[in-house]
Chain A
Amino acid sequence: MPKYALYPGCSLETGGIEYGMSTHAVAHALGIELVEVPDWNCCGASSAHMTDHLLSLALPARVLANAETIPGVTEMVAPCAACHNRFAAVEYEVGKNEELHSKINSMLEVPYTGKVKLRYYLDIFSNPETLAEIKKQVKHPLTGLKVACYYGCLFVKPPKATNFVDDPENPMAMDNLMSAIGAEPLLWPYKTECCGASLGATKEDACTKLCNDILRVAKDSGADCIVAACPLCQSNLDMRQVAVEKKYGLQYRLPIPFFTQLIGLALGLDSKALGFKKLFVDPAKVLQKVGAA
């Protein structure tokens, strides 16, 4: 049974609660064991790296150090792309700089050794073995559902620091997953365009414009929904969609489910347990496709 340390981050229990719910439900169904990192703290994204370089590395390093205390675990996943990126920064920057490494460790109670490696969250499902397992277990293929896979920026950019886990301009892990569950991933150009991230909290107008671009291109590409892999992107596109529509006088009504929710649906898991009711834009269209509405 594959076993990973899980870093839920601050959003998997709050704004992205449906991502957390569906993550656990799908992992359970596929026999993947996820062990929550003991006493984890916030990774600091993205306020810490705008403010203090050492702080921006020491906060996530404490999490990785705590993950190292879980017996039998060699890899950690962070479903939030912004968190993932901070752990990637630790591995990239601290891993190649001994002086920095000992400085960081002097700030921590439990030393960070680097023995637990960061794993690209999508890849624990899209690797060949698990993908085959998902195909085998599909009960309700999402046939005919046109999906725009939206990875956000920070899982794959910058590729040097994120270790080239997927193509930074045209990632495919989520597309492969969507094909495996019978959906039709669209060829569309905004897979890794920025949603505005925390600008939503500080410069709403700029964030609204960026979200509108993404929603418009997805709609024009013929998408029934945009599938997300990052709770911040998802929240910008889902919760702020009404504000976008109002500002631009358009109507999208595009549901923004997480990829784990759609996998769960195809596996025949209860839509309630997958948190579909937590989405702001009504996902009825998506649920009807598999007769789960």
Chain B
Amino acid sequence: MGELNLSQVLEKNRSFVDEFIEESGTDIRQCYQCAKCSGGCPGTFAMDYLPNQIIRMLMLGMKEEVLKSKTIWVCMGCSTCTTRCIRDIDVAHVMDALRKEAVKLGYTEHAKDVVTFNDAFLWTIRSWGRLFDAGMLMMSNIKSGNYTRNMQYALPMMLKGKSPLIPIPHGIKGTKEVKKIFRLSKQEGK
């Protein structure tokens, strides 16, 4: 991480921290670093900072370090941290909010796979109202350049009757309603 002058960093990013608290609706300043969140987190082995460190770094205004971290993209939202937090901080929700912020500001170095997966997933929902597995997999693999990822499961899924032999998406009646939900939530987010 290198050397940091924390008072300068905090001064520069104070508005980011304040806005983050406001927007995420989670007052991270309540944290007193008991580290219970990290103790129970199943993903720490693949993280660069522990969840309690992320909270502390946020409090110190270390915006770039947090948004560039691997940690926020390893978190799978199991909410064990939130469940156990003695200070009532929704840590899993903080991770969600950080992911959104990181995408918005372009800090996606460690997130390419997750972002392409999410985009492909949501593209099928927006188009047909429901998940279209085959379409999602294809789109996700094409965009990430990892063409064979998870393809080893396609044939077994078909043979078990869990995936159609000829994948054709079927839209729901309310596809237009779903499109409207996507459109309006995007407008609000701006």
Contacts and interface: CB of A to CB of B under 8 A. Distances in A.
Interface of A: 10, 14-15, 17, 39-42, 44, 46-55, 58-59, 62, 103, 106-109, 153-154, 157-159, 168-169, 192-194, 196-206, 209-210, 213, 239, 277-278, 280
A62 B178 contact: yes
B33 interface: no
Contact of B114 (A50, A52, A204): A50
Contact of B78 (A51, A62, A197, A280): A197
Contacts, number: 154
Interface size range on B against A: 35 or more
B172 interface: yes
A169 B45 CA distance: 21
Given A14-B162, A198-B117, 6 more contacts: A47-B118, A157-B78, A206-B43, A213-B42, A277-B160, A278-B161
Per DSSP, chain B at the interface is helix
Contacts of A197: 76-78
A229 B157 CA distance: 20
A42 B130 contact: yes
Interface in B69-110: 74, 76-80, 82-83, 90, 92, 96, 99-100, 103
B74 A206 contact: yes
A51 B100 contact: yes
Contacts of A194: 42-43, 76, 78, 80
B150 A201 contact: yes
B76 A109 contact: no
Nearest to A193: B42
B113 A203 contact: yes
Given A47-B117, A107-B181, A196-B76, A53 B174 contact: no
Interface string B112-131: 01100110011001000111
